[in-house]
Amino acid sequence: MDGFSSIADLAKLKEGEVKIRGWVYRQRGSDKFKFILIRDPTGVVQTIITKEEVNENVWETAGKLYIESSVIVKGKIKPDERAPGGVEIQVTGLEPVSIGEPYRLQKDFSTEFLLDQRHLWLRSQKMKQIMKVRHHLTIYLNEFFDNKGFYQVVPPIIVKNACEGGSQLFEMKYFNEKAYLSESGQMYGESLIFSLGKIYVWAPSFRAEKSRTVRHLAEYWHLEPEMAWYSHEDNMKLQEEMLEFVVQKLIKEHEDLLVALGRDVDVLRHVKGPFPRITYDQMVEKLQDLDVKFEWGQDPGADEEKALTADMKVPLIVEKYPAGMKAFYMRRDPKNPEYMLNDDMLAPEGHGEIIGGSERIWELDELLEAMKKAKLDPNDPSYSWYVDLRRFGAVPHSGFGLGMERLLKWVLNLDHIRDAIPYPRVINRVYP
């Protein structure tokens, strides 16, 4: 556009006059030379201003620039073996677009300060690269499901029902009644399989997580496939295929980004199905072998999950939890009704749960029974529609939920989930 080159393109050009636009990334100089690193979304390039060779105006302007000033630079490409793209620019013209103010992110890099200044910190190389990976994973997930004949659907965000139990709901005023921000789109997703067969909901979920952890957000992006006719077995296989597909494709197409972010790509290469599977009961035994305090009937938390997966390179599936331990809609194993046909997928390297899935109860009587146990009223209009789905041509079906930020945290081996999303929402922060 308008004859501007992107910085990534410079390497291909190798020589000639170019015009680029971007932001000052770093600068240094003497009374004879100035070296200004310019960044744009595609890369960083060094530009050199030689006092003797430019007009006074250019030299003066260069002296006024701050980190992050926006500029247009004209110059000649020079090959330089040490430079990242193999080239640098000998400046002939320099035009400030906005010099602005001295940049705020220069000395204080404390976590809290950077979170306060998130709108600026997003310009850092690290955050930029993470957001690029997020984009690519998003595209690959869509591609995976499209290839398999799934339809993407949207759920309502303002709801009346408490899908996952209700203790973590954000309440809101909806005109003259009480409503909630959705903590899962699953129940609505289930309703759509009767027309579309295989669907995936992809929307934000909201959970008032009251404790601070490195893997809980109050607002996260939730991918929730739901499939008619799929068994528990089919469900787990789909989860494996999905993770293998997106991770391997990311390595194939964007290994450079992974390397730039310091990710050990060779570890990720192991992510190929089938993944190891253990039952809940076997997990309890394993934890006891590992000397982790844990009792049958408890839901494993971060510490237990870490102990289970710290030395692993591929995800671990834990299936068949004791009946009633999780959400009311999970189907019991007809061969062993003390257990459910569900699974949690634990990411390797200690990252913990990234997926929760199950076969759903599809028979009316069974659902009514489960709701009674969970003290839910099947005639309450918040739930009656969901019960209805078992009255008109019910079919066996399964589904799961994947947290997008949990996926990124593992794939990029991030210390904290907040860096997987541009503007994290956690208990003590709703700004910027």
CB closer to ligand ATP out of 88 and 353? 353
- Rounded distance between C-alpha atoms, residue 139 and residue 246, angstroms: 9
Q: Smallest gap, in angstroms, from Cβ of residue 328 to ligand ATP?
A: 13
Number of residues that bind ligand ATP (CB under 6 A): 16
- Rounded distance between C-alpha atoms, residue 262 and residue 343, angstroms: 31
Is 418 a binding residue for ligand ATP by CB under 6 A? The answer is no
Contacts of 393 (CB under 8 A, 6+ apart): 194
Positions in 210-239 near ligand ATP (CB under 6 A):
216-217, 220, 222
The only residue of 164, 190, 226, 304 in contact with ligand ATP, by rule CB under 6 A:
164
DSSP 8-state code for residue 352: E
CB closer to ligand ATP out of 315 and 356? 356
- Residue 3 backbone phi and psi in degrees, to 5: 75, 10
- Rounded distance between C-alpha atoms, residue 89 and residue 4, angstroms: 14
CB closer to ligand ATP out of 46 and 398? 398
Positions in 185-214 near ligand ATP (CB under 6 A):
207, 209
Is-cis flag, bond preceding 274, omega within 30?
Answer: yes
Q: Smallest gap, in angstroms, from Cβ of residue 288 to ligand ATP?
A: 21
CB closer to ligand ATP out of 37 and 421? 421
- Rounded distance between C-alpha atoms, residue 332 and residue 341, angstroms: 6
**What separation in angstroms does the CA of 184 have from each of 77, 83, 166, 209, 427?**
53, 48, 11, 14, 19
Q: Smallest gap, in angstroms, from Cβ of residue 318 to ligand ATP?
A: 12
Is 304 a binding residue for ligand ATP by CB under 6 A? The answer is no
Tokens of 283: 């997990």
Is 360 a binding residue for ligand ATP by CB under 6 A? The answer is no
Give the binding range for ligand ATP (CB under 6 A) out of 18-26, 76-84, 107-115, 351-359.
Answer: 351-359
Contacts of 187 (CB under 8 A, 6+ apart): 161, 163, 329, 386
Is 353 a binding residue for ligand ATP by CB under 6 A? The answer is yes
Is 354 a binding residue for ligand ATP by CB under 6 A? The answer is yes
The only residue of 21, 34, 134, 406 in contact with ligand ATP, by rule CB under 6 A:
406
The only residue of 236, 403, 411, 414 in contact with ligand ATP, by rule CB under 6 A:
403
Secondary structure of 39-52 in the HEC alphabet?
EECCEEEEEEEEHH
The only residue of 227, 355, 370, 376 in contact with ligand ATP, by rule CB under 6 A:
355
CB closer to ligand ATP out of 329 and 339? 329
CB closer to ligand ATP out of 45 and 314? 314
The only residue of 68, 226, 304, 405 in contact with ligand ATP, by rule CB under 6 A:
405
- Rounded distance between C-alpha atoms, residue 298 and residue 278, angstroms: 16
Q: Smallest gap, in angstroms, from Cβ of residue 315 to ligand ATP?
A: 11
CB closer to ligand ATP out of 167 and 195? 167
DSSP secondary structure string for all residues of 20-34: EEEEEEEEEE-SSEE
CB closer to ligand ATP out of 62 and 250? 250
Query: Do 347 and 306 contact (CB within 8 A), yes or no?
Result: no
CB closer to ligand ATP out of 268 and 402? 402
Mask: binding to ligand ATP, 383-402, rule CB under 6 A, as x and -? Answer: ------------------xx
DSSP secondary structure string for all residues of 214-245: SS--SEEEEEEEEEET--HHHHHHHHHHHHHH
CB closer to ligand ATP out of 23 and 220? 220
Using DSSP bridges, classify how beta strands 332-333 and 336-340 pair: parallel, antiparallel or unpaired: antiparallel
- Rounded distance between C-alpha atoms, residue 163 and residue 224, angstroms: 13
Q: Smallest gap, in angstroms, from Cβ of residue 143 to ligand ATP?
A: 20
Residue 126, H or E segment: helix 125-147
- Rounded distance between C-alpha atoms, residue 340 and residue 300, angstroms: 16
CB closer to ligand ATP out of 198 and 216? 216
Residue 77, H or E segment: strand 70-79
Interacting residue ranges for ligand ATP, rule: CB under 6 A? 164, 207, 209, 216-217, 220, 222, 353-356, 401-403, 405-406
